[in-house]
Amino acid sequence: MSKDAQSERLLARMLEWWKGVPQFKHRHAVDSVYLARGYLEWQGTPDEEAAFWLAVSHCVWWWLDERSEHSAAEAGPLDWAALVAEVEGSEGGRAPATPATNDTQVLRRVIVGMAGQARAEVDFNWWRTTISKTIQAFQKTEVLVQSETSFVEYLDLALWNSSIRNLLASTSLLCDLTLATRRSDPPVLALESALCLDARLENDLRSVDNERRLGTQANAVLLMERVMSPPAALAFIQEQHAGCRRLLKASQDALGPGDPLVRLITAMFKTHHQWYETRPSRYQASPPPQ
């Protein structure tokens, strides 16, 4: 992970911002700073305030993943409905009237911070929509894959549960990329959708062995193993992932290499690849739960 002066300052700010939050881990801040800095490489030397709030946006998902999968007794169960209500009640960046729990207090601080960074209300409103829908998708994922979920239903959910839509909206809000309005352009919407699916399938391909050992079914490869052999399921998802890459390239080509969104997504690809290579332990098979 990068050790330059800006990353060190950002990490110190992140650790202070998240201090005392139940189930926050030091590695969440380290990974979030690394990813945020990588996303913003297309800018040259990124604005430090933008990098900080993008790191916070990344960290929300690491933290919620930790809370949902390994809920600590002292923190209590994660109340998904309360989180959604917190986001949807925060119109205009104002905190809702309802009392905050420990978890919703974290989200309230994120919302207030992002509202303060937004240059246009439409960007904040789209960002708020993406965080609400991604939280709901996190909640639904485990439930759906335990039932007779079809591959199409899984892909529909994957448009949100990779968190990429929210991270794109966060980067757009912080860097004035006007994604909220540009989404009416078909190539931009196609680019966004292909990127979400690509991220979901890449994660599933890299984590399949670990998730098989853990006994989860929230993985496209494991889902397809219900109807075909493991080697065939793996090959099928690899083929779908390659298809996502082709769709993504077609959308990038339609927009052109100078488009800020194309430059951002190129930086995202590079950063994701480097992150996967430096964090292999997260995707290696873990011992089964006791």
Residue 285 has pLDDT above 60, yes or no: no
Tokens 């913003």 — which residue?
A: 40
Alpha carbon 253 to chain centroid, angstroms: 24
Query: Which of 158, 163, 172 lies closest to 241 in space, CA to CA?
Result: 158
Q: How much is the pLDDT for 149?
A: 80
DSSP-derived secondary structure letter, 95: P
Query: Which of 136, 129, 127 lies closest to 80 in space, CA to CA?
Result: 136
Structure tokens at 289: 């739960």
Q: For 85-138, what is each residue's pLDDT tens digit? A: 999 986 655 656 566 788 999 999 999 999 999 999 999 999 999 999 999 999
How many Cβ atoms are within 10 Å of 215's Cβ, its own excluded?
Answer: 9
Query: End-to-end distance of the chain based on CA atoms, in angstroms?
Result: 32
Q: For 151-199, what is each residue's pLDDT tens digit? A: 888 999 999 998 999 999 999 999 999 999 999 999 999 999 999 999 9
Give the Cα separation of 232 and 236 in Å (integer). Answer: 6
E strand or H helix that includes residue 266 = helix 260-278
Confidence of residue 248 (pLDDT cuts 50, 70, 90): very high
Give the Cα separation of 289 and 52 in Å (integer). Answer: 35
Give the Cα separation of 172 and 191 in Å (integer). Answer: 14
% of the chain surpassing 70 pLDDT:
89
Confidence of residue 215 (pLDDT cuts 50, 70, 90): confident
